[in-house]
């Protein structure tokens, strides 16, 4: 507890919010000391991310709906009127929330407290309040940009089950997984598993016999309601939301505590009961993933209450929604799971892959000065014709292991000075801002995956000097171009005079490259 009380949340959050808005959005936000003087009315959008492990908590970032669109336009280098839909707004606010939450996670790690982050969720509407349950510390910060306000809320506490077991579990989620039961993952019936657990919990804990409905029961927009949410993070990622009306939440609490509804003294008892229900149901899904060989940890529950709001989890691959009925009351359960990691782990449980990767790209000197606009930081989708006119020759494979990758330098024009190689200048897109200038001289390693193949462990053990490994990629087939293991472009293999090169054919979109930063 002493570690949590001494932890400097204020400095961590303020520095990161200022950095993110400056570097990623070209906005100079200023902290506002008297938070009580600022309000955020009307349509609001909130990005939330939870962390779980030895320390548990949540980070919520509140902005007005108009300001969320300004933020999106600034990050994507466009005008507000050019934003086509809400998905871009949600993605950008989710990335901003990820970066700020990631800073807090990193600082906890530096303090010796291991934790993992959930995927972001977005809450939008005009009338709602988000509370994280039973936090030891709660902090709220305000920032101003011109006439716009940004609120950042954080709640944290130590895990009641602190110890080697929690530390080891968090460590497990951040390293290569062990044996994965691929068949169990593929056949996992999340819908049936959660439905059975909901019925069991209401029957055993609340003495209520709920019945599953064939159709999803929609809530009335102005009906006061509560949604309790719990995230699971690690090798398996996702969220469970359980929605009930305020009146039914009171009935559930009275039933669990063995009292009449009128005897309930305040909302805290109601929130505690809803939190326990969501914990038990979330624990069921966590157990199912654990049986399949995927470690994950649960966040502490949060409660969203109000009359007009919607909660959405970002970048989920699987989404289930179903309802239950108890007399005249409805319970709606949403389960969202991110499956992309599961697919990767499933592949890794099969015979191993051998990947041949070229690590060095060198741009030789040219006799005549020419301008080659090829920025790395903010590459826009370049026309195919221009990309094909500037192939990037590589050294032969034999030469590659003997040289270190050259540092990316900072010019875009060829100089005529003798015995000098062409230097490369990385120009900034106006949507990023001057805050990135200090990054432009940082050396980056560019890798091109030439090809890959699969072989059994026995075949791998029999490789030796002179062995030939056949790769699937052939001349002119697309290959991935990576910076620090992040995909930034694709190209095709070309062979000229016995030397290999890559001709760029596709640049990843700006949004895809921004996501790779988190």
* The pLDDT of residue 99: 92
Q: Establish if 155 belongs to a structural domain.
A: yes
In the prediction, which pLDDT does 151 show?
96
- For residue 16, being part of any structural domain is answered with yes
Kindly report which listed range (103-117, 417-431, 460-474) carries the lowest average pLDDT score: 417-431
Give the residue with greater pLDDT, 506 vs 444: 506
Specify if 325 maps to a domain: yes
Provide the pLDDT for residue 379. 35
Q: Give a yes or no: residue 78 inside a domain.
A: yes
For helices 246-257 and 267-291, what crossing angle results, to 10°? 80
Report the percentage of the chain scoring pLDDT > 70.
Answer: 70
Residue 298 shares a structural domain with residue 376: no
For 327-337, what is the mean pLDDT? 92
467/323 same-domain check: no
Bigger pLDDT: 175 vs 339: 339
Domain boundary among 350, 367, 388: 350
The Cβ of residue 478 has, within 10 Å, a number of other Cβ atoms equal to 12
| Most confident stretch, 162-171, 211-220, 394-403 | 211-220
Helix %, strand %, coil % of the chain (to 5) = 35, 30, 35
Give the residue numbers spanning the domain of 403.
Answer: 353-515
Angle at the Cα of 94 (from 482 to 73), degrees rounded to 5? 85
Q: Is residue 86 predicted with pLDDT exceeding 70?
A: yes
Q: Above 80 in pLDDT, residue 365?
A: no
Residue 167 lies in a domain: no
Are 332 and 186 part of one and the same domain?
yes
Q: Are residues 118 and 264 in the same domain?
A: no
**Domain boundary residue among 161, 193, 218?**
161
Residue 169 lies in a domain: no
Q: What is the DSSP letter of 235?
A: S
Residues 157 and 19 in one domain: yes
Q: Would you state the pLDDT for residue 381?
A: 43
pLDDT > 60? residue 405:
no
Which of 350, 385, 407 represents a domain boundary (last residue)? 350
Structure tokens at 28: 């100079």
Q: Are residues 297 and 377 in the same domain?
A: no
In this predicted structure, what is the pLDDT of residue 240? 94
Q: Is 435 within the bounds of a domain? A: yes
Alpha-carbon gap, residue 227 to 73, rounded angstroms = 31
pTM of the model: 0.67
Question: What percentage of residues in the chain have a pLDDT greater than 90?
Answer: 35
501 and 358 in a common domain = yes
Separation CA 162–CA 178 (nearest Å): 23
136 shares its domain with 217: no
| CATH code, 428 | 2.30.330.10
Mean pLDDT of the chain: 76
Q: 55-64 and 237-245: which strand pairing?
A: unpaired
Pair 185, 323 in one domain: yes
Q: 252 and 149 share a domain? A: no
Name the band, by pLDDT with cuts 50, 70 and 90, for residue 380.
very low
pLDDT for 9 beyond 80: yes
Overall average pLDDT of the 326-350 stretch: 72
Burial class (CB in 10 A: 0-12, 13-18, 19+), 471: middle
The yes-or-no verdict on residue 222 having pLDDT over 60 is yes
What is the mean pLDDT of the segment spanning 439-468? 76
Q: Are residues 227 and 342 in the same domain?
A: yes
Indicate the number of domains in the chain.
3
Residue 166 lies in a domain: no
Co-location of 363 and 511 in the same domain? yes
Q: What is the CATH number of the domain that holds 58?
A: 3.40.1550.10
Helix (H) or strand (E) holding 129: strand 121-132
Give the pLDDT score at 15: 92
CA 511 to centroid of chain Cα atoms: 13
Tell me how far apart the alpha carbons of residues 506 and 483 are, in angstroms, rounded to a whole number.
15
């Amino acid at each position: 507890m002493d570690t949590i009380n001494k932890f400097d949340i204020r400095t961590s959050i303020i520095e990161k919010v200022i950095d993110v808005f400056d570097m990623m959005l070209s906005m100079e936000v200023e902290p506002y000391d008297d938070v009580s003087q600022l309000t955020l009315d009307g349509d609001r959008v909130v990005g939330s991310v939870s962390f779980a492990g030895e320390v548990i908590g949540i980070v919520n970032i509140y902005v007005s709906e108009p300001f969320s669109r300004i933020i999106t336009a600034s990050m994507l280098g466009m005008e507000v009127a050019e934003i086509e839909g809400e998905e871009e707004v949600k993605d950008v606010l989710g990335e901003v929330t990820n970066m700020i939450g990631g800073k807090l996670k990193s600082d906890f790690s530096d303090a010796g407290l291991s934790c993992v982050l959930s995927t972001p969720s977005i809450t939008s509407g005009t009338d709602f309040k988000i509370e994280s349950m039973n936090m030891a510390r709660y902090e709220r910060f305000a920032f101003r940009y011109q006439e716009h306000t940004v609120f950042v809320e954080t709640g944290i506490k130590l895990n009641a089950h602190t110890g080697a077991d929690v530390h080891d579990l968090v460590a497990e989620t951040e390293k290569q997984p062990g044996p994965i039961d691929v068949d169990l993952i593929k056949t996992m019936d999340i819908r049936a598993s959660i439905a059975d657990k909901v019925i069991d919990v209401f029957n055993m804990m609340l003495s209520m016999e709920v019945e599953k409905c064939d159709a999803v029961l929609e809530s009335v927009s102005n009906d006061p309601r509560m949604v309790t949410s719990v995230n699971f993070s690690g090798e398996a990622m996702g969220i469970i939301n359980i929605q009930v009306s305020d009146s039914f939440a009171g009935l559930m609490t009275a039933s669990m505590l063995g009292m009449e509804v009128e005897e309930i003294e305040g909302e805290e008892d109601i929130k505690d009961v809803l939190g326990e229900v969501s914990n038990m149901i979330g624990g069921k899904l966590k157990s199912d993933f654990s049986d399949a060989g995927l470690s994950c940890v649960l966040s502490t529950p949060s409660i969203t209450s109000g009359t007009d709001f919607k909660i959405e989890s970002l970048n989920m691959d699987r989404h289930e929604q179903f309802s239950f009925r108890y007399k005249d009351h409805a319970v709606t359960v949403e389960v969202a799971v991110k499956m992309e990691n599961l697919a990767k782990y499933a592949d890794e449980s099969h015979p191993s892959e051998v990947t041949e990767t070229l690590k060095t790209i060198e741009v030789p000197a040219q006799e005549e000065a020419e301008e080659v606009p090829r920025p790395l930081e903010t590459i826009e989708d370049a026309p195919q014709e221009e990309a094909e006119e500037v192939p990037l020759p590589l050294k032969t494979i034999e030469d590659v292991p003997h040289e270190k990758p050259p540092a990316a330098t900072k010019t875009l024009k060829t100089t005529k000075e003798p015995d000098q190689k062409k230097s490369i200048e990385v120009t900034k897109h106006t949507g990023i801002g001057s805050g990135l200038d200090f990054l432009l001289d940082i050396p980056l390693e560019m890798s091109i995956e030439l090809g890959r193949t699969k072989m059994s462990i026995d075949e791998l053990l029999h490789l030796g000097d002179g062995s030939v490994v056949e790769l699937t990629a052939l001349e002119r087939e697309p290959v991935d171009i990576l910076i620090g293991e992040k995909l930034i472009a694709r190209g095709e293999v070309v062979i000229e005079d016995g030397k290999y090169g890559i001709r760029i054919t596709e640049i990843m979109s700006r949004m895809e490259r921004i996501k790779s930063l988190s």
